[in-house]
Chain A
C-alpha cells in the first residue's frame, strides 16, 4: 500500500543533467501521473466506504434511528393517541418493570420457550446435517426440502399448527382419543410452551441444518481418513473431528437462535387466533415481544412499550457478551492445548 501512489521511476530532476526542454515535458507528464495516482489512491481508499454505504444508510434509517428514538420515547409518558405529545417520565418506565409481574412472567415465558425450542432445534439440526453429509441419492432434494419450512411464513405455519394443537377439535387430540389417551390441553401452562416450541423447531431446524452441512463439507477429508486409520468409529469421528471443526459455526447458530428466541412474537400471537395479545387467559405464553405489542398497540402506551423494547435489547447485549466471553475462553483453551501438545 505504501508505494502504490509513487510509480515515478524517473530520477529526481535536480540531480539529472537532462535538457531543460525535456524537463518541462516530463514534469507535465509527471503531474498527470501524479494526479492519476492520487485519484487511484482516493479510489482505493474511499470506494469501499461507498460500496457499504447503502447498507449503513438503510441501517441508519430503519435500525439506528428507531433504536435511538425508542430510547428517547422510553423516557417519556407517550400515548399512541398523541405520539408527538411526550411527557418526561425519567426512568420510571424502566423502574416500574422491576415490579411488573406481567413483565417478569413474559421474561420467564420467553426463556422457557427459548430453551425448549433452541436446544432441541440445534441438536436435531446437527444430527440431520451429519446424515445429509453422507453420500445420498437425491441429496439436493433433501437439502431443498430442509429449507422449505424456513421459507414458509410464520402466519401460515402457525395456523397449521393451531389446527394440530386445538383444544376441542385439534388433530393431535383427535389422534390421542383414537388410541385411547386423554386429550391434552395444548393451551395451558407449560404444555403451551411445548406446543409453541414445536412451531419454532419445525421452522428453523432445516435452516440450521444447512448451515451445519455447509460447515461440515469444509472439514478436510484427510482428518476423517486418519481418524478411520486410527480405528475411530463413525460416532467417534463425529464427536472428535466434526464437532470441534464446527465449533465456530455452532457458536454462530447459538447466537442467531438466541436472538430469534428472545424476539419471539408471531408464533405466540397467532397461536390463539382471534384471542388478543395477552398470550392466553393467564398470560401463560405471553412472551416479551407479545407484551411489548400489547402495551404499545392494544393499550396504546408507547412509552412503556419502548422501555420493554430497550430491556429486550439490553438482554440481547448481555447474551452477546456472555457468548463472547465463552468463545474467548474456548479459544484460549484451544491455544493452551495446542502449545501443550507441541511441548510434549
Chain B
C-alpha cells in the first residue's frame, strides 16, 4: 500500500510541475506572440514593425536609422526568425488568423509563388505605391510577386545571381589556371565542361580534396540556370518529364557517381567546417554566399578563395517585402517598404552586406559597379554578379518548388553520395518522396 501512495504522490508532484511549467509557458509566450502590428509609442511616434527571417541586413547596414532620421515621426522595430523554414509556417498561420502580423513581412523567393497564389488577398497591392517603379526591377523579379490579375504583393529586395567560388591553392596544386578569367573560360557556357574540368582536377588533386562541395549544391546551380523547372506554364507539376530537370540531375549525379563531390548536406555543420578545412575546390556561389564562406572559412581560408563566372547565369535565392492588408500603419509601411527596396538603398545594402540588388538601375552606381571583395582576392564582384544577373533566365516558378527541390537533393542526390545508390535508384527514391510530399 505504501508504494502506491508514493507513486501517487510522485504523480501528483509531476502533475503540479507540469501545470506549473505550462503556466510559465503561457506567461512567457506573451512576449513573442506576434509583432503587435503597428500603433504609436509613448512619444507619439508611429511604430512600424518589420518581420523578417535570416539576415536581410537592413538594420546592420544602418538603413532603419537613416529612415528614422529622414522621418522623425517614425520608429522602426524589427523582429527576426533565424530560419525561413520556421518563419514561413508562422507567417501562414498569422495570415490565416489575421493576428500577430508585422506591418512589413519578408517573403523568400522559394515561397513567393505559393504566397501569390494563396495569400494575395491578404497583402496590399504595391505596384502603384509612391516611388515604386516597375522599370527599376528585373521583369522576372517583378512578375514573381505579381498575381495573374496584376496585383503586386511584394517588392524585390535582393537576388542571388550565381558565380563559382574556387580555391586558388587547390587549382594551382592540380595544375589548373588560377586567374579568374581563365578559370571562367574553362567551363564557359556548359555545365558539362565544368565536369570535364573536375575530372582533370581529380586526376592530380591534392589528397583529400574533392572537386565540388556536394551534388546538391551543383544540382541547385544547374537547375537555377535553366528556364523551366518543376512546373509548366499552366501550373502543372512536370518535374518528372522535364528535360531541364533531367539534365541538371544528370550533371549532379555524374559528379556524385565519379566521386568528385565532398558529400555534404548544404547548411549543415560538416559543410561549414569543410569550408574552413578546404576539403573541396569549387562551390556554387550566389552573391549572398560570399559572406557565408567568409564567415565559415575564417582566417584559415583567407586569400585562398576567388570568384569566377558560372558556366551559365542563374539565380539562387532572394527575397521580397510585403505589406499585410490588416496592418494598422499600412500607409507608413508601404512608404518604408518602397524606400527600403529602392535602387539607392539596394546599392547601399550591397555595399554594406553583400545582398545583390534586384534593381538593375543600381548596377551603374559606384557602390555596385566598382565593388571588389577583399576576402576573395579582391575579385570584382560587382562586375561579375551584374553580368550574371543580366543573364538570368525568366523562370517558371510554382508553389511547391522548394519541397520538390529539397526532396530531390536531400532524399535523392544525398543518398547517391552517402549510401552509394545508383542514379536511377536515387531518382526513384527522390520522386517517391516528392510525390508523397505533394499529395495533399
Contact = CB atoms under 8 A, between A and B. Distances in A.
B88 to A, nearest CB: 9
Nearest to B276: A169
Interface string A7-30: 000000000000000000000000
A128 interface: no
A83 B96 contact: yes
A84 B96 contact: yes
A248 B440 contact: no
B268 A274 contact: yes
Contact of B85 (A276, A281, A282): A276
B273 to A, nearest CB: 5
B295 to A, nearest CB: 14
B52 to A, nearest CB: 19
A243 to B, nearest CB: 12
B410 A278 contact: yes
B3 A249 contact: yes
Contacts of A162: 269
B419 A188 contact: yes
Contacts of B19: 54-55, 58
B289 to A, nearest CB: 15
Given A81-B118, A81-B119, A274-B268, A218 B2 contact: yes
A268 interface: no
A218 B119 contact: no
Interface stretch (A67-75, A110-118, A300-308): A300-308
Which of A54, A77, A281 has the most chain B CB atoms closer than 10 A to its own CB? A281
Interface residues of A, number: 48
Contact of B89 (A102, A281, A300): A300
A177 interface: no
A276 B270 CA distance: 15
A160 interface: no
B440 A282 contact: no
Contacts of A164: none
Contact of B7 (A100, A102, A215, A297): A215
Interface string A189-222: 0000000000000000000000100110010000
A297 B93 CA distance: 10
A252 to B, nearest CB: 5
Nearest to B418: A281
Contacts of A278: 407, 410-411, 433
A237 interface: no
Contacts of B410: 275-276, 278, 281
Nearest to A62: B22
A314 interface: no
A246 interface: yes
B419 A281 contact: yes
A168 B440 contact: no
A245 interface: yes
A79 interface: yes
Contact of B3 (A82, A248, A272, A299): A248
Nearest to A252: B7
B436 interface: yes
A301 B435 CA distance: 13
Contact of B273 (A168, A211, A245, A281): A168
A130 interface: no
Interface in B1-24: 2-4, 6-7, 10-11, 15, 19, 22-23
A33 interface: no
B92 interface: yes
Interface string A266-287: 0000001111101001110000
Which of A77, A245, A283 has the most chain B CB atoms closer than 10 A to its own CB? A283
A276 B414 CA distance: 13
Contact of A168 (B15, B274, B414): B274
Contacts of A300: 89, 92
Given A274-B269, A297-B89, 7 more contacts: A81-B114, A81-B118, A169-B270, A249-B6, A252-B11, A275-B268, A278-B410
8 contacts: A62-B22, A249-B3, A273-B269, A281-B414, A283-B411, A297-B85, A299-B438, A301-B440
Interface of B: 2-4, 6-7, 10-11, 15, 19, 22-23, 85, 89, 92-93, 96, 114, 118-119, 265-271, 273-274, 403, 406-407, 410-411, 414-415, 418-419, 429, 432-433, 436-440
